């Protein structure tokens, strides 16, 4: 089942910026995201590291050895999805996973081709490449149609250039979350925040600004029943194209009773499960 727009949609040019993870072992996690995912270390301190591509930060790792592991009841991250710009880069990522880690899944979603794995602390990771937009199947109402089909991994790896790092143009394509209530999450992300619904199934929502297939996925597949906490996703970042867009969004959130905390580069809020969201201007 599909639906379309939010009553107060985010601008089409809205995108994701960074995500942040609370981790126990900073060194091990840096090594994974550097060697397997292919991100570069941009800064490193005793309790914090930032990784990304060229000058673009994509992932912040926050060491908190006292944070308890996330339980199987808590809401939080399903996976962080890094989008590479070509099948060549996806093939190289597959080679790195085969050489250094364990591939857990590989799917053709019609709009994209994706690899799935987990980091050393159990956080889900997707590395994917979009198909050209003109090839995306769409419903009569214009929303995107997706599926989950087996991926031809041999065809993917045959196009690899064996690069050790992801190339320029790699970004955070989407985040996929586990929620305690799909209806509450929908009210927050669609009615209040302003993402549009691309796909609405019985147990999942795929939400986007503009006509992208999804910037945020939300599901109840594993029956999470408690708010987010412990290690794992600390926050993710939504980037809007102008200060006017951020001001309008801030006002809308405040009118809806969402607690808004000012930051030097924007604002921070939390969703209905306590997952942090940072909002800033491009």
The per-residue pLDDT for 3 is 54
Number of independent structural domains in the chain: 1
SS3 category, 136: coil
Residue 251 CA from chain centroid, whole number:
25
Q: Is 51 exposed, middle or buried (0-12, 13-18, 19+ CB in 10 A)?
A: buried
Q: Is residue 4 part of a domain?
A: no
Q: Is residue 10 part of a domain?
A: no
Q: Is residue 74 part of a domain?
A: yes
Q: Is residue 7 part of a domain?
A: no
Alpha helices in 78-231 (DSSP H): 87-100, 153-157, 182-186
Q: What CATH number does the domain containing 111 carry?
A: 3.10.180.10
Task: Give residue-wise pLDDT tens across range 89-110.
Answer: 999 999 999 999 999 999 999 9
Residue 65 CA from chain centroid, whole number:
24
Q: Is residue 2 part of a domain?
A: no
Residue 202 pLDDT grade (very low, low, confident, very high; cuts 50, 70, 90): confident
SS3 category, 221: coil
Residue 1 pLDDT grade (very low, low, confident, very high; cuts 50, 70, 90): very low
Residue 6 pLDDT grade (very low, low, confident, very high; cuts 50, 70, 90): confident
Instruction: For the chain, give the mean pLDDT.
Output: 96
Q: Kindly report the CA angle at 47 between 44 and 50, in degrees rounded to 5? A: 40
Separation of alpha carbons 27 and 49, rounded Å? 9
Provide the token pair at 64: 């908190």
Whole-model pTM? 0.97
Q: Is 3 exposed, middle or buried (0-12, 13-18, 19+ CB in 10 A)?
A: middle
Residues ≥6 apart with Cβ < 8 Å to 57: 17, 18, 42, 50, 51
Separation of alpha carbons 53 and 127, rounded Å? 14
Q: Is residue 148 part of a domain?
A: yes
Report whether pLDDT(236) > 90: yes
Q: Is residue 48 part of a domain?
A: yes
- 149 contacts 9 by C-beta, under 8 angstroms: no
Q: Is residue 120 part of a domain?
A: yes
- 177 contacts 75 by C-beta, under 8 angstroms: yes
| 266 dihedral zone (left: phi>0; alpha: psi -120 to 50; beta) | left
Task: Give residue-wise pLDDT tens across range 10-53.
Answer: 999 999 999 999 999 999 999 999 999 999 999 999 999 999 99
SS3 category, 192: helix
Q: What is the mean predicted confidence (pLDDT) over 66-86?
A: 97
Report whether pLDDT(266) > 60: yes
Residue 263 structural domain: 15-281
Give the C-alpha distances (Å, rounded to integers) separating 11 from 146, 209, 235.
23, 7, 21
């Amino acid at each position: 089942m599909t639906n379309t727009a939010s009553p107060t949609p985010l601008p089409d040019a809205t995108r994701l910026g960074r995500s942040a993870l609370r981790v126990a072992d900073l060194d091990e996690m840096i090594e994974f995201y550097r060697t397997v995912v292919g991100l570069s270390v941009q800064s490193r301190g005793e309790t914090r590291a930032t990784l990304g591509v060229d000058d673009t930060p994509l992932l912040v790792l926050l060491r908190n050895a006292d944070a308890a592991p996330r339980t199987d009841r808590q809401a939080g991250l399903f996976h962080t999805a890094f989008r590479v710009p070509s099948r060549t880069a996806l093939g190289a990522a597959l080679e790195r996973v085969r050489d250094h880690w364990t591939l857990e899944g590989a799917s053709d979603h019609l709009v994209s081709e994706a690899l799935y794995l987990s980091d050393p602390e159990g956080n889900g990771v997707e590395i994917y490449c979009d198909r050209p937009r003109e090839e995306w199947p769409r419903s009569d109402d214009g929303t995107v149609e997706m599926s989950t089909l087996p991926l031809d991994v041999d065809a993917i790896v045959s196009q690899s250039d064996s690069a050790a790092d992801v190339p320029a143009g790699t970004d955070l394509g989407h985040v996929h979350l586990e929620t305690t209530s799909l209806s509450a999450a929908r009210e927050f992300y669609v009615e209040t925040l302003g993402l549009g619904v691309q796909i609405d199934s019985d147990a999942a929502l795929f939400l986007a600004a503009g006509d992208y297939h999804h910037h945020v996925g939300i599901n109840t597949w594993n029956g999470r029943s408690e708010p987010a906490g412990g290690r794992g996703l600390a926050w993710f970042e939504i980037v809007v194209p102008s200060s006017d867009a951020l001001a309008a969004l801030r006002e809308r959130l405040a009118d809806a009773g969402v607690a808004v905390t000012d930051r030097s580069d924007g604002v921070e809020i939390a969703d209905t499960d306590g997952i942090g969201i940072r909002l800033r201007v491009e």
